[in-house]
Structure formats: C-alpha cells, structure tokens
C-alpha cells in the first residue's frame, strides 16, 4: 500500500492580495502549488509514513475485542524498593511505577511487556492526541489532543500539562536526556488547551524528534505546583496519572498493587479495545530467585517469566504442574535479543587496550557454561542485532561498504576488509580451554603484562591486574556459578579476579556510579535508528548509566549519524548493519547468550488470543481472566 492509503496530505496554498489605489491596479496571484510546503496530517506516526492501521480501525488486529474484564494477575519481583517515583536518580523505584502515565502517542504497553501496536515495528498511534500534523521537512509538529482526556483525580489533561512535563524532564530529568533533548527540541508551546506544538532545531537529523516528544509521559502541572515535588527526588507519593490503572497500594519491599480505573477516560478508544482486561495487577517482592520460585509453586503469584535455565530444565516438576493447574509455554519473539554480557569499564586505564580486552574475553567459555550450567538451552550471541536483517556477517559490501568508505580515515582497514567480529570458540568438555588461554597470555604480553615467578600478572611498573565483578545477591545461583567459573579462568591467567555478591541497593548504586571493573549488564538491541542510539552507544552518553562501558567512539558516533540521515529504508538498513559491525569491532562487551523464545509459566486461570504478535507476550496487556477456570482451581483447593 502507498502512504496515501494511511496518511492524508494537504497543501497550504498561499494567496496574496493587493489594494487598488487610485488609477493603479495590482493583481493578486496565487502561489504555485509546487512551491507550497506539503503538510502531513495523520492519526499515527512512522518516519517514512507507512502506517499499518487505517484511520478508522476498530481495534488492534491481535486482541480479542470482546475480552471480559475482571480478575487479578500477579507477578514477582526480586530485591527491594524505596520509591514510587520511577524518574528519581536516587533509590530503587517500585516495579511498574511509570505505568500510570500516558503520552500523546501510544508506543508501548503500560506495564512494559511489549510495543503498541505489537504487530508493527516503528509505528505509533494517537492516545492523548487524536491526530498530528507536520511539514514534510519535519521542522515542527502539532498534536491535536483529545478534549476528554483526564487525570485519575478527574482534572482535565491539557496541552499545558504536556508542555510542563516536557520542561520538567529538561530541568530535573537525567542530565544526558536533558542535554540530548534540549539540543533537538528548541520550543514547546501550548497553542490552546488542546493543541501543542514542538519546534525542532535546524541542521539536525529529523529522526526521533516526533516520536520523542510524542512518547514523553505527561504529568499533572497542578499537582507538581501544589505539592512542590521534584521529578528527581525519591518519594513514595506519586502524581496522578491518566492511564487505565492507578496505584492502589503498596507495602514497602513486599508488594505493589495496581487497580484498573473504572472511570478511565480512554476506555472506549479503538486502540484500547480488548486491552487492559485485569481488574488488578499485583507485584509480589521476594529476597531472591529461589524464594520467588517456591512462592509461585503455591500460587502466591500466578504468572512467571522464566529466565533461569536450570529452573526451566529441572524445576518444573511439582504437584500443581503435574495436575495441570500450571501451564508451561514457549512463545516466539520478533525482537532482537538484548545484548547482555560482561561489560568492560573503559574508564579503567588497563582496559582501554583492546588486546587486554581480547585476552580477558578468551577466558570466557560459552560452550562449557551453556552445556554444564545452562542445560544447553541457549545460543551464543554474536551480534547487537542478532537474527535480524541488520546483522553483519562477512566483509561489508554494496551500500554498507559505500557508507563506511564515505567516512574516510575514521574507519580502520580491518572493518572494511575483514568479516564482522565473531566470538571465539571454546572446548565444551572443560572449563579451561588451553589453546585460548595460550592466546590470551600472548596478547597480554604484547600489551605489557607478564606473569611473575609467583604466577601473578603485572605490568612494567609492577602493578597487579585486578578485576572485580559485583553481583546482586537477588540474582540466581546459576548466575553466581557462571560468574565464579569465569573468574576462575581469569585467575588462571594470573589476574587478581573476584566476584563480589552485594545487596541489590548497593549493586544499583555501584552500577549508577560505574564503580566496577567489569559487570554483567546489557545494552539496548536496535531494529531501527533514532537519536536514542546516541544516548545508548554514543560518546555524548559516555557518562550515562545507559552506557555501562563508557564507550566513546568517534567511529560509532559517525555511523549512528549515517543511519539518522538515511534518506530511505535501504540506506537506513545498510547503516544499521554497519553500526552492528563497528560496535562489535570496538569490543566493549563479551557477548553472553540469547534465547529465541520466551519461557513463561502461569496458573491455568488466564486466556489469550490464539496467535501471539511478534513484539509482545501481552500477559499484562491483552490477556484476560478466566473466571470459570479460577473457580475450578479454587474448588480443588489449588488456589485461594
């Protein structure tokens, strides 16, 4: 289909007029249509204008529009929380504490289990706004808001709240966010109570501008002004949201409960039909994974997304599952897997030498770890865009090669001529692969690190190489074993390597302050371009928590810019493949593993559509409560 099938274009024809004075008559001529700026009016947004849903769509294709409302679904969380403000820079916010807020465009499910729509990537549709308009050049955008929108306290949600929220993030949000957005969005203006305009800077990519302002949470200006609260403070009191759920209550470090708002202003919107079906969503907190799993067995909570391979392979053999009261399933996913792994802190002087990083990586034995500790259930991740069309494999060619060559001397010859970096192979039969360890020692020697007579690795100044990896005590025993065996191999190289198990709050603090040599962490996978790439991988975000390595690479920055400036999808795709290639070349993370399905288990009291969309499992968004089955399990004594 063409763009015209989904988006209405209009041309603004300017007319001039002249006065007739005395005997002099001037004729007013209309401007030529081809000279007028082409305006785009639409019910949703994608960068290239290709929307999958018509303006008059009745509901999202994958939902059950007649799904019943009611019941409770509960999940688990590990560790602690000391704030219900998700935007604080201090403390640990409660799970889903951002779910009560909405934005002009619907971009993701309120409780974070996927995108909206979940069957189309890179598209968003009006939520607080019913439509938007912008020139083809995307120099500015105007959102036309729904007059019926309300906060949960019944007060109207207006364009003034949108402008206030935008400015609040700039004044009190994360510094890296504020710096990036303020450089791109130069003005936010409420044209009237239900019309808001954002103006963008000249000379920058048009990427992630409309989506950025369209996806920003909207807060109550009146509440913030009345209370004097700050966005960046840790607090248990929250501002009213406008979403389908409200915070019902919490017990610190024990549980949080959200209730569906019966007076939710957007209940009848087509984009919401068949969604937000549970009356209650509850989060139960546990000290660690073992306690959480035992609680699931007894029905203390009812839905579990499993991420522990040992548990998935051996733990699901208990009475409730044998009786058919608990269901296990594997759901496909269309997302690129999250790039997890051992992240190097590039602020450490000794880790700035890529030879040292290469040597350390050779001590990681994925094959043995997967076979011995993870029951062979995972695949080794090689790419930041694993399994997508953006994954780089052999040497660059075609349009990707042309883009890289356009950057001149910034691109190393190896990037232009060699295949994309691949992880090393290791012996799956034994933890220590002797061949890899020999290669590692050679690299360390080249970098100026030698083993002394006592077997200790030291540099020319006699300094010992020390690597500490902090681990959250709320994690699984399997993760502890994985990191412990990795440190054993590092110790075999003469490195003073250790992993330190610390409480979740301390782990969060050390992660925020980059107080580690290495950490098991993650970056964001990408399946499209946007300025968020600079905020995750760019030098401008090198000090930010979202860039745990502190990566500063002019090469990466330049390739991100190529993707942002891409004039068409083909150039964008080639630039994203090049980005995957150069990120792997920089080698700031030792890739771990990935799963191409999502493991879930739940008590048999829920129903869901027959087909799961690629970009969401949907349990908190478009599943629904099976009241009849719940009564059967309760009568059997399985649930209370």
User: What does 218-284 look like in DSSP terms, one character per residue?
Assistant: ---HHHHHHH---TTS--S------SSEEEEEEETTTEEEEEE-TT-TTTT-GGGTT----SEEEEE
Residue 554 and residue 586: Cα distance in Å, rounded?
11
Average pLDDT over residues 416-445: 97
Is the bond preceding residue 117 a cis peptide, omega within 30 degrees? yes
**What are the tens digits of pLDDT across the range 221-270?**
999 999 999 999 999 999 999 999 999 999 999 999 999 999 999 999 99
Whether the per-residue pLDDT at 19 is higher than 80: the answer is: no
Fold exhibited by the domain 38-333+596-640: D-Maltodextrin-Binding Protein; domain 2 (3.40.190)
pLDDT of residue 167: 98
Average pLDDT over residues 25-46: 67
Q: Where are the alpha helices (DSSP H) in 318-433?
A: 319-322, 354-362, 366-373, 398-405, 413-417
Residue 536 and residue 541: Cα distance in Å, rounded?
6
| Domain assignments of the chain as residue spans, ordered by start | 38-333+596-640, 340-526+585-594
pLDDT of residue 355: 98
**What is the band of 638 on the pLDDT scale with cuts at 50, 70, 90?**
very high
Nearest C-alpha neighbor of 622 from the set 242, 59, 46: 59
Q: Which residue has the higher pLDDT, 204 or 362?
A: 362
Domain 340-526+585-594: CATH superfamily is: Dipeptide-binding Protein; Domain 3 (3.10.105.10)
44 conformational bin, left if phi > 0, alpha if psi -120 to 50, beta if neither: beta
Residue 574 and residue 565: Cα distance in Å, rounded?
12
Q: Global pTM?
A: 0.84
Whether the per-residue pLDDT at 622 is higher than 90: the answer is: yes
Residue 255 and residue 332: Cα distance in Å, rounded?
30
Whether the per-residue pLDDT at 23 is higher than 80: the answer is: no
pLDDT of residue 176: 76
Residue 402 and residue 421: Cα distance in Å, rounded?
19
**What are the tens digits of pLDDT across the range 343-363?**
999 999 999 999 999 999 999
Name the CA dihedral angle for 94, 505, 216, 4, rounded to a multiple of 10 degrees. Answer: -90
**What is the band of 35 on the pLDDT scale with cuts at 50, 70, 90?**
low
pLDDT of residue 565: 92
Name the CA dihedral angle for 431, 435, 436, 442, rounded to a multiple of 10 degrees. Answer: 140
Structure tokens belonging to residue 294 = 């035992």
299 conformational bin, left if phi > 0, alpha if psi -120 to 50, beta if neither: left
Q: Which of the residue ranges 250-259, 359-368, 517-526, 537-546 would you say has the lowest mean pLDDT?
A: 537-546
Structure tokens belonging to residue 564 = 């942002």
Structure tokens belonging to residue 251 = 């017990």
In 3-state terms, what secondary structure has residue 451?
strand
Q: Can you say how many angstroms the Cα of residue 351 is from the centroid of all Cα atoms in its chain?
A: 27
On average, the pLDDT of the chain sits at: 92
Q: Which of the residue ranges 11-20, 415-424, 489-498 would you say has the lowest mean pLDDT?
A: 11-20
Whether the per-residue pLDDT at 61 is higher than 50: the answer is: yes
Q: Can you say how many angstroms the Cα of residue 364 is from the centroid of all Cα atoms in its chain?
A: 26
CB atoms < 10 A from the CB of 54, how many? 11
pLDDT of residue 77: 95
**What is the band of 36 on the pLDDT scale with cuts at 50, 70, 90?**
low
pLDDT of residue 113: 73
Whether the per-residue pLDDT at 21 is higher than 50: the answer is: no
Whether the per-residue pLDDT at 520 is higher than 50: the answer is: yes
Residue 408 and residue 165: Cα distance in Å, rounded?
42
Q: What share of the chain is helix, strand, coil (3-state, %, to 5)?
A: 30, 20, 50
pLDDT of residue 29: 40
Strands 280-286 and 72-78, by their bridges, are: parallel
**What is the band of 112 on the pLDDT scale with cuts at 50, 70, 90?**
confident
Whether the per-residue pLDDT at 103 is higher than 60: the answer is: yes
**What are the tens digits of pLDDT across the range 261-296?**
999 999 999 999 999 999 999 999 999 889 999 999
Query: In the chain, pLDDT over 90 holds for what percent of residues?
Result: 86
In 3-state terms, what secondary structure has residue 197?
strand
Nearest C-alpha neighbor of 2 from the set 70, 54, 78, 72: 54
Q: Which residue has the higher pLDDT, 185 or 88?
A: 185
Q: Can you say how many angstroms the Cα of residue 123 is from the centroid of all Cα atoms in its chain?
A: 16
Is there a contact between 137 and 206 (Cβ–Cβ < 8 Å)?
yes
Query: In the chain, pLDDT over 70 holds for what percent of residues?
Result: 94
Is there a contact between 306 and 600 (Cβ–Cβ < 8 Å)?
yes
Residue 636 and residue 640: Cα distance in Å, rounded?
10
Instruction: Calculate the alpha carbon distances from 258 to 102, 247, 526 in Å.
Output: 15, 5, 31
Whether the per-residue pLDDT at 603 is higher than 90: the answer is: yes
189 conformational bin, left if phi > 0, alpha if psi -120 to 50, beta if neither: beta
Residue 512 and residue 553: Cα distance in Å, rounded?
21
Question: b/e string for 3-17 if b means 16 or more Cβ within 10 A?
Answer: eeebbeeeeeeeeee
Q: Which of the residue ranges 29-33, 250-254, 469-473, 512-516 would you say has the lowest mean pLDDT?
A: 29-33
Whether the per-residue pLDDT at 14 is higher than 50: the answer is: no
The single-letter DSSP state of residue 338 is P
Q: Tokens 């003034």 sit at which residue?
A: 160
């Amino acid at each position: 289909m063409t763009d015209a099938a989904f988006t209405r274009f209009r041309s603004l024809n300017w007319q001039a007029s002249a006065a007739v004075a005395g005997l002099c008559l001037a004729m007013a001529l209309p401007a030529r249509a081809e000279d007028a700026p082409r305006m785009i009016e639409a019910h949703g947004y994608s960068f290239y204008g290709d929307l999958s849903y018509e303006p008059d769509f009745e509901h999202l294709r994958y939902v059950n529009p007649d799904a019943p409302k009611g019941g409770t679904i509960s999940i688990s969380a590990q560790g602690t929380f000391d704030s219900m403000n998700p935007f604080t820079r201090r403390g640990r916010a409660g799970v889903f504490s951002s779910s009560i807020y909405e934005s002009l465009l619907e971009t993701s499910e309120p409780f974070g289990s996927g995108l909206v729509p979940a069957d189309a990537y890179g598209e968003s549709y009006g939520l607080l706004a019913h439509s938007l308009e912008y020139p083809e050049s995307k120099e500015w955008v105007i959102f036309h808001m729904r007059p019926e929108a309300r906060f949960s306290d019944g007060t109207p949600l207006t364009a003034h709240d949108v402008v206030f929220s935008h400015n609040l993030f700039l004044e009190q949000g994360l510094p890296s966010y504020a710096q990036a957005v303020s450089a791109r969005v130069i003005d936010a203006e409420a044209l009237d109570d239900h019309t808001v305009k954002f103006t963008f800077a000249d000379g920058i990519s048009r990427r992630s501008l409309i989506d950025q302002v369209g996806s920003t949470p909207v807060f109550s200006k009146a509440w913030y002004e009345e209370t004097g609260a700050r966005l960046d403070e840790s607090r248990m009191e929250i501002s009213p949201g406008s979403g389908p759920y409200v915070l019902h209550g919490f017990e610190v470090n024990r549980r949080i409960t959200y209730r569906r708002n019966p007076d939710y202003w957007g209940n009848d919107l087509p984009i919401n039909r068949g969604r937000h079906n549970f009356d209650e969503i509850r989060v139960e907190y546990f000290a660690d994974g073992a306690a959480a799993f035992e609680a699931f067995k007894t029905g203390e909570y009812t839905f579990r997304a499993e991420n522990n391979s040992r548990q998935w392979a051996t733990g699901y053999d208990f009475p409730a599952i044998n009786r058919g009261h608990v269901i296990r399933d594997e759901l496909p996913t269309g997302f690129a897997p999250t790039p997890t792994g051992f992240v190097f802190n590039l602020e450490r002087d000794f880790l700035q030498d890529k030879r040292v990083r290469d040597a350390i990586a050779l001590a990681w034995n994925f094959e043995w770890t997967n076979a011995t500790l993870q029951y062979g259930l995972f695949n080794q991740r090689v790419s930041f865009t694993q399994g997508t069309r953006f994954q780089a494999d052999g040497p660059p060619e075609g349009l990707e090669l042309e883009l890289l060559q356009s950057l001149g001397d910034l691109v190393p010859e190896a990037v232009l001529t060699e295949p994309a970096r691949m992880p090393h192979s290791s012996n799956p039969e034994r933890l220590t692969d002797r061949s890899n360890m020999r290669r590692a020692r050679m690299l360390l020697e080249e970098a100026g690190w030698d083993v002394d007579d006592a077997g200790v690795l030291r540099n020319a100044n006699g300094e010992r190489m020390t690597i500490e990896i902090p681990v959250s005590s709320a994690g699984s025993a399997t993760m502890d074993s994985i990191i412990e065996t990795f440190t054993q191999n590092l110790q075999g190289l003469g490195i003073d390597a250790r992993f330190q198990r610390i409480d979740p709050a301390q782990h969060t603090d050390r992660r925020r302050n980059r107080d580690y040599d290495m950490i098991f962490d993650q970056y964001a996978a990408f399946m499209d371009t946007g300025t968020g790439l600079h905020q995750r991988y760019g030098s401008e975000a090198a000090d930010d928590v979202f860039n745990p390595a502190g990566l500063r690479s002019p090469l990466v920055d330049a390739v991100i810019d190529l993707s942002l400036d891409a004039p068409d999808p083909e150039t964008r795709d080639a630039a994203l493949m090049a980005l995957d290639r150069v990120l792997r070349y920089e080698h700031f993370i030792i890739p771990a593993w990935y799963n191409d399905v999502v493991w879930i288990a739940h008590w048999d009291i829920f129903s869901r559509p027959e087909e799961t969309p690629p970009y969401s499992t949907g349990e908190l968004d478009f599943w629904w409560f099976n009241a009849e089955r719940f009564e059967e399990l309760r009568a059997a004594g399985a649930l209370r």
